[in-house]
Amino acid sequence: MAAPVLCRLWSGRRWALAYINRGSRHGAGTPTGSRSSGKREQSSVVQQPLITAEKPRKGEHEWAAVVGLEIHAQISSNSKLFSGSQVHFAAPPNSLVSFFDASLPGTLPVLNRRCVEAAVMTGLALNCRINKKSLFDRKHYFYADLPRVS
């Protein structure tokens, strides 16, 4: 059985549905115990008629698929993004914590300029669109095992 594959035609504007013949090698498509005719197949891809998208019918919405990637990367920096605390992998637990990291009331974040510059430069190198304005929201978790401030 051939597997359907969507491939782009030479024009680059239309897509065609093609079926790849799994028995494309000499004798690969013949059953066990039978003799091959010794002839090679001309092509391993059989192209079907073009499939084009229909225009939306009256009353229907025209939808477009939008696909995006969410990529997490660590910026090489000596301090954290929102506090001046140092970053060392081998440091003992809770030894590099600032007041902001500990979520003490009244402490405000200080954005690390070098991290922002590195992120923008990476985005420009990857030909990304950089927003002129960015907003940051901090998550607050309330679990039973966390210490409470009363």
Q: Where are the domains of the chain?
A: 3-32+40-50, 77-138
Among 38-47, 69-78, 108-117, 132-141, the minimum mean pLDDT is found in 38-47
This prediction's pTM = 0.45
* Rounded distance between C-alpha atoms, residue 82 and residue 69, angstroms: 24
Please give the pLDDT value at position 135: 84
pLDDT number for residue 92: 92
Cβ 87 vs Cβ 74: under 8 Å: no
Whether 84 shows a pLDDT value over 60: the answer reads yes
Measured CA to CA, the distance from residue 45 to residue 2 in angstroms comes to 9
pLDDT at 23 over 60: no
Which has more pLDDT, 82 or 13?
Answer: 82
Instruction: Give residue-wise pLDDT tens across range 27-55.
Output: 444 445 445 555 555 555 555 566 666 67
